[in-house]
Amino acid sequence: MRMYDIIEKKKNKLSLTKEEIEFFVNGYVANEIPDYQVSSLLMAIVLNGMDDLEVTNLTLAMANSGDKLNLNFNAVDKHSTGGVGDKTTLIITPIVACLDCKVAKMSGKGLGYTGGTIDKLESIPGFKVQLDDDKFINQINDINVSIISQTKNIAPADKKIYALRDVTATVESIPLIASSIMSKKIASGAKNLVLDIKVGSGAFMKNLIDASKLGQTMVNIGKNASINTVAILTNMNEPLGNNIGNNLEVLEAIEVLKGNGPKDLTDISIELASYMVSITKNINYEEAKTKVIEVLDSGKALNKFYELVKYQGGDISKLNHTSKYEYKVYSKKSGYITKMDTAKIGKISSMLGAGRIKKDDLIDYNAGIVLNKKINDYVNKNDLLATLYTDKKIDLINDYLDSIEITDNKVNNDLILGVIK
């Protein structure tokens, strides 16, 4: 078998066999196939696509390229395609754990304008995001939940292929995006998976058509890999919740668990948690939602979150938000906020210190933004729109003002845009 023939086959819009896909994946991981040939194949995939069987075989080949976590229980996981202000993992994992579902969550750090769950957890003093397999599994058996950084050699083929995609303009391909995400999920061992696919200005998928295609592709991969999978399409045309930035988001997650959080964040957390419980316990969505709301209202989920933090060495009492500078953003006109450039707002948060551009950049856990007004809120001239927190002497007030649009009429702004099963 030759890589040349595999490239030519895909160039001619033909389907690759399982053996051909495994040959290129395993050969690339073993450094037996050069970057330039894999780059050529990736471009052919971007241009000509892959069918469902090809995508499944690519996903499984990448999942099998390294370590796999063998869980001895029926675990559930959740994955978000990335957004601004998305702290749902901190809310839904303790809710689901209270309902006798075991949550095995491996999360990542943020890069660019999208935040990472691990960065948020590391903003809690003492919180340990790295546990060995035994401690990870034992904690889940003890309290039904653990959230750790993906430190194992999980899907190394994906890591290597993604790095190549990043520099060869081959990132934007639904088969490649889907296989990248699902290969890591399959290797992580959970048999139940809820996907939160963000759609809009702050998401990788900008429109509902592409987001639906991605969701359906990943659900199909899950089914073919014997994983119960459901995809929820959610709105990312504005930040989720009111807080952006690491410890600001932890504090807001706690407010949701106390019953005091913003409606959009609370509603989407209930939605995601309900589907996690439904597919894991094999009960209908309405029954699962009733249980989720009861757990949230009772305070049990809040206590479970505190238990999770304590188990992993964190000290919530030492979580404190202080910044050297606060920049207030006031409206220059009256009307309804009808548009927010969520990606730009996320980039502003990163510039304040809350995110990283390169993987080794240091993060200021206190930096971020608190939003006072969002889409369809009416504002008067000189109303407070947001507060920017940072230790840097940097004025981004006009940048924030440029990221929003104020007009005379409200707009449609549904939170849940679809469900794919």
What are the tokens at 260?
């005091």
**What is the pLDDT, as a whole number, of residue 109?**
77
pLDDT of 167 reads 87
| Contacting residues for 210 by C-beta, under 8 A, at least 6 apart | 174
Question: Residue 161's closest CA among 131, 181, 137, 139?
Answer: 181
pLDDT of residue 115: 75
Superfamily of domain 3-49: Transferase, Pyrimidine Nucleoside Phosphorylase; Chain C (1.20.970.10)
Domain boundaries, the chain: 3-49, 75-152+176-317, 325-407
Higher pLDDT, 115 or 355: 355
Task: Exactly one of 78, 105, 152, 184 is catalytic; name it.
Answer: 184
Q: Please give the share of the chain, as a percent, with pLDDT higher than 70.
A: 99
Q: Give the tens place of pLDDT for each residue, 317-344.
A: 999 888 999 999 999 999 999 999 999 9
- 165 belongs to the catalytic site: yes
| pLDDT number for residue 168 | 92
State the Cα–Cα distance between residues 188 and 105, nearest whole angstrom. Answer: 8
Mean pLDDT of 351-370: 87
Cα distance from N-terminal residue to C-terminal residue, the chain: 38
Superfamily of domain 325-407: Pyrimidine nucleoside phosphorylase-like, C-terminal domain (3.90.1170.30)
The pLDDT of residue 151 is above 80: no
| Per-residue pLDDT tens over the stretch 11-52 | 999 999 999 999 999 999 999 999 999 999 999 999 999 999
Residue 292: name the closest of 255, 241, 257 by CA: 257
The tokens of 274 are what?
């309900």
pLDDT confidence bin for 261, thresholds 50/70/90: very high
Fold of 75-152+176-317: Pyrimidine Nucleoside Phosphorylase; Chain A, domain 2 (3.40.1030)
Identical fold for domains 75-152+176-317 and 325-407, yes or no, is: no
- Inform me whether the pLDDT recorded for 111 exceeds 70: no
Residue 82 has pLDDT above 90, yes or no: no
- Gap between the Cα atoms of 269 and 285, Å rounded: 14
Residue of 54, 66, 42 whose CA lies nearest to 165:
42
pLDDT at 285 over 70: yes
pLDDT in tens, 200-245: 999 889 999 999 999 999 999 999 999 999 999 999 999 999 999 9
| Residues comprising the chain, all counted | 421
Of 80, 173, 180, 331, the catalytic one is 180
Residue 102: strand pairing partners: 75
Q: Is 368 helix (H, G, I), strand (E, B) or coil?
A: strand
- At residue 353, the 3 state secondary structure works out as helix
Q: What token pair was written down for 244?
A: 């952006």
Catalytic annotation on 158? yes
79, 152, 373, 374: the catalytic one is 79
Ordered DSSP codes for 171-209 = ---HHHHHHHHHHHHHHTT-SEEEEEEEESTTSSB-SHH
- Name the residue type at position 353: G
Sequence-distant (6+) residues with CB within 8 A of 230 are 193, 194, 195, 219, 275, 279, 419, 420, 421
Evaluate if residue 360 carries a pLDDT over 90. no
Q: Single out the catalytic residue among 158, 196, 341, 364.
A: 158
Is 79 noted as a catalytic residue in this protein?
yes
**Statement: residue 97 has pLDDT above 80:** yes
- Label residue 118 by pLDDT band (50, 70, 90): very high
2 is a catalytic site residue: no
- Return the pLDDT at 359: 67
Please give the pLDDT value at position 357.
72
Active-site hit among 165, 321, 344, 347: 165
Amino acid, single-letter form, for residue 242:
N
State the pLDDT at residue 70. 87
**What mean pLDDT is reported for the chain?**
94
Q: Residue 408 and residue 421: Cα distance in Å, rounded?
A: 38
Q: How far apart are CA 114 and CA 52, in angstroms?
A: 29
Q: Residues 91-111: what's their mean pLDDT? A: 92
d(CA 232, CA 219): 10
Q: Which of 122-126, 149-153, 171-175 has the lowest mean pLDDT?
A: 149-153
What global pTM score does this model have? 0.93
Cβ atoms 302, 258 nearer than 8 A:
yes
